[in-house]
Amino acid sequence: MSNGPQLTEEDLIRDAGLSGEQECCEVYVLVDNATKLAIGYSICYKAYSTWQGRYFFVEDIYVRPEHRKRGAGRRIFLEVSARAVELKCPRLEFNVLEWNPARKFYESLGAVDLTAKEGWHYYRVEEQQLSQLANDLASSKS
């Protein structure tokens, strides 16, 4: 895992559909009414499961450190949850690193740790291996 996001502001604007391209994620921003500055955000997208059909996936929730423990994270989570209901999604999913203290916060809102409860593990195929797999497919077709 890298030390931080590799995403640029331009990437986010494009992917959220704000530049006229097709949207592939939704962005929720919580703004401080007094300062008009963003104090937190969430990036989400619609996904699909053969178990229950559509669901809403939360890629990221972030609240600036100076605004934590003041209800900002809860407000963002409630907004995202309401959007999932609006989209008729029966569930909301997200991943949290084991060391992240926000795990207790999510559990307080009713989130269930599926690794602990059901033994699910989350896997990723990184870019280099992904390219190799695509090349393997191309080679097998020739």
* pTM as predicted: 0.82
Domains of the chain: 9-113 (3.40.630.30)
- Tens-digit pLDDT profile for residues 86-100: 999 999 999 999 999
Give the active site residue among 62, 106, 122, 123: 106
CA angle 38, 103, 47 (to 5 degrees): 70
- Is 41 one of the catalytic residues? no
- What pLDDT sits at residue 80? 97
Residues of the chain where predicted confidence (pLDDT) is lower than 50:
none
